[in-house]
Chain A
Amino acid sequence: MPESLVCAGCSLLCDDVAVAGGRFEPECPLGAEWYAACVASDDGIDATVDGEPGGIDHALARAAELLRRGRRPLVYGFVGATIEDARAAVALADRLGAIVAAGGAGALGGPWPGAPAFPLRGSTSATLGESRDRSELVVIWREDPESTHPRLLGRLGLGGSNRRLAVVDDRDTATARLADTRLDWPRERDGEALAALHLLARGGERDRQAGELRERLQPLWRRLDPVAHATFVYGAALAGGAGGQRRALALQELARELSHGRHVVTLSLADAPGIRGADDVLTWQTGYSGTVDLGSGHPELVTATTPVVEHERVDVALRVEDARATPDDVAVIALSSRPGAGTPAVWIRTAPAGVGAGGTMHRLDGVPLALRPPQPSVAPSAAELLQRLHETIWR
């Protein structure tokens, strides 16, 4: 029996996937779309320079020239990057004195939901199997994993007899429709709800709750109060945007308070499969998570609230395994399986990780998984290209 494949269609990195007779199994629309895109991308021209097709060596020479000339280089992306790609990227950034942004070229929100709040108080979390086997209640806060991580609920064991799903949202999402308990709650009052639940968890201060608020939270609280183990699932809808750090902090404070006499964990729903691992690499190589400036010869944390391209006056950007939009007025060197948005000054096609190239990715809960490419590509991986770029710049 052939080895199953690890799907990098989302950050769940399901490792029980098989593609036979054109069918992607177990069924998953995101996974099937990802696989088809990988297969389709693994053919065609090798590279472009200013939009014109060319060879890899020519493209590397141009990329090297741009990076040598750049005054303020940025290395970013990592949406589909492996650990090996990220290790090579941060090594190159260190030598260049570049900024590395594990969370994209923007600045708000951090590399994964909840990351900016983490250094303030920490977090309580677990791998998927812990939640699946122990949590009597899973509370999904304003996320719709049925759309974004289609196999999450199954992998958390929901649908079984002893586990209950509660959803906090004011949208009628596919996930909300599966909930045992729904709390119809507006986004702008998330912080208030989390603080109120925190007070309920502290017990003695229940009477301080305003009646209406307490009344509305009771259905959720009645589910939460008696359980020995619970998981909160959250993502960018809670922890992103203005006030996201404060709301993520409030969730962690609630989980912390609840973790007396019971065990409560949280699960952050990262969207892209490569970013969690890239941020792990950035953290172990530099000591910092998120956006790190290596321009002064040692790592410094960048905490700007404006997009890093503007704030740091970036003039050349190396985009690694990411097809998202290119910042304006910046020469972009893109290493990815598809050219992606905009017209990069240089694009070099990479083997798509998971289908054409191997390596390691870190699942949304931090578990590392080896990719087992079913169709090894002749195209190089991003890690190989980064190594060649390194040699081209300093030969």
Chain B
Amino acid sequence: MSEIRISGGAIHDPANGVDGEVRDLCISGGRIVAEVGADARRIDAHGMVVMPGGVDIHAHIAGPKANLARRLSPETRGTESEQRKRILRSGSGGLVPSTFATGYRYSLLGYTTVIEAAAPALAARHVLAELRDTPMIDKAFLILMGNNQVLMELIRESGGAVSPQLRDAVGWWLAATGGYGVKLVNPGGVEVFKQAGGDVDGLDDQVPGHDVTPRQILEAIAGAVHELGLPHPVHVHCNDLGVPGNASTTLATMEALSGRRAHLAHLQFHAYGGRPDPPSLPRSRAPELLAYLNDRKELTCDVGQVMFGDAMTMTADGHVSAVLRDLDGGKWVNHDTEVETGCGIVPFTYRAPNYVHALQWAIGLELFLLGSDPWQVMLSTDHPNGGSFRSYPKLIRLLMDRAYRDDQIARANRKAIGRTALTDGIDREYTLNEVAIITRAAPARRLGLRDKGHLGVGADADVTIYHDRPDDREEMFATPRYVIKGGELVVEEGELRRVDDGLLLSCDAAFDADIDDVLAPMFADRYTVSFAHYPVRDPALREPATIVRATP
């Protein structure tokens, strides 16, 4: 592996308290080191900004649902195709690019780690195969467990408590799939939708046929994740996504989780005031959620910012997609996975003049701009639900450049803006260090990736170097000057120079292997795949991987 000296750049490494200090950064053997030899390659970074590689804590890039979305939208795919080159595979673009194109494009934005935030365990083999075809980035996936009938049965048996069996079952599922962490999507609600349409109502509704409530699922699985000591806490897509008044459910969820570490996904979609029935126009309750969050440092969120323009909504929360289907009348995919989860896909366009869309956009910005602790509020568009990951540079500009933001606000629905804090004007402009926090340092820390998201000695040498462009932060973050992945220069001046396969990130939680005796008969009753065939064992899919240890 090569040695590199990055010379004279302004280092933004908030995890180590470094804020723009101009100094050299050394790389050897794929790691950040204190010093390198005289023969090391020198990268002149004078006048440039040096940050750790970007870490996307919540995106949807691989697996059956991403592939159904590709299949659903061939008409969007021809834009900006990737041309086959000597070292590069060809690919296609659109909101859900082909796998190779996804890896290349993340890399060209300076991202080096991405989390697929919702994978059905039954499809883990498919998810892994796609991730193996997604180069340039290290990647992990979260396993959907919030509507798993086996886990619901174990929760029912324990009366909602965290039983050793539940804890071992959660550990078993991660080991069986290669998953990195646990995702809950509309706990209990997806199961209700799959039964006959419909949804649960709040946290204390019984899930028919299972005799548990969303609250019990939430508390028990969050507790199991905590007891297992997984590197990433439970990752929650709350109940009632998109419903006017859902901020009450979100607050109740945060209360139910309080005292335990948890990450709330795409909080923007869960921050609405108003009445659900009959539905009223939503309004913002982002400030309330932020106030609650601020008092509970064990909780974090990503925003799920919507960006005006085309999006592809894709979610395990099939009920939400059915609602969008009826709103829009356009394309709709529903796919139910036995025992475990659902899936809905609807192409969608967010329009600035539309009240609801503008409110969603403004709520996202409120979450970013009114929050007092950037370590708790991380950048995401819930790619591609709120917009493509390729819109991150524009989103960063909205946060860093008030004049630009005011110009964009003036184009949005005035009534919606008038019902948010944006109407009074918010002076705040993110600093480069704050951007480094929300795009790399905080996500890496929250994921328990100790070697990522910072530039201290021993860290993975994932580094992004930008031209400092105060006049155009969008352009700056869209076209890094250099990207270094695992100690090798992979991007230079907007061109991919070297292909890196990227590593799978897995975790190894300890669990009692006797849980097999509990799970095997439950599988036989429920699945159409045998217990023996369910775990993914193939080295070609599971390796190479970085194994992150759980610490109970």
Contact = CB atoms under 8 A, between A and B. Distances in A.
A94 interface: yes
Interface stretch (A258-266, A304-312, A322-330): A258-266
A89 B342 CA distance: 31
A126 B537 contact: no
A349 interface: no
Contacts of A95: 84
A192 B538 CA distance: 48
Contacts of B81: 298-299
Nearest to B63: A284
Interface residues of A, number: 62
Given A87-B129, A283-B70, A4 B533 contact: yes
Contacts of B126: 280, 362, 366, 368
Contacts of B530: 4, 15-16
**Which of A127, A228, A281, A285 is most buried by chain B, counting CB atoms within 10 A of its CB?**
A127
Contact of A261 (B70, B197, B335): B197
Contacts of A132: 338, 528
B98 A299 contact: yes
B536 interface: yes
B403 interface: no
Interface stretch (A40-48, A114-122, A237-245): A114-122
Contact of B92 (A299, A368, A372): A299
Interface string B93-118: 11011111100000000000000000
Among B62, B66, B74, B89, which residue has the most Cβ atoms of chain A within 10 A?
B74
Interface string A211-235: 0000000000000000011000000
B65 to A, nearest CB: 10
A104 to B, nearest CB: 18
A336 interface: no
Contacts of B129: 83, 87, 281, 360, 368
B110 to A, nearest CB: 23
A121 B528 contact: no
Chain B contact patch, size range: 35 or more
A285 B197 contact: no
Interface string B276-308: 000000000000000000000000000000000
Contacts of A286: 90-92, 98
Contact of A229 (B70, B130, B196, B533): B196
Contacts of A128: 338, 528
A369 B538 CA distance: 11
B71 A370 contact: no
Given A94-B89, A283-B67, A300-B78, A262 B197 contact: yes
Interface stretch (A67-75, A180-188, A287-295): A287-295
A128 B336 CA distance: 9
B178 to A, nearest CB: 13
A388 interface: no
Contact of A285 (B66, B98, B536): B98
A248 interface: no
Contact of A298 (B92, B133, B335, B540): B92
10 contacts: A125-B334, A127-B122, A128-B338, A155-B528, A287-B94, A299-B98, A360-B538, A366-B123, A366-B335, A367-B528
Interface of A: 3-4, 6, 15-16, 83-84, 87, 91, 94-95, 97, 115, 118-130, 132-134, 155, 228-229, 256, 259-263, 265, 280-281, 283-289, 294, 297-301, 360, 362, 366-370, 372
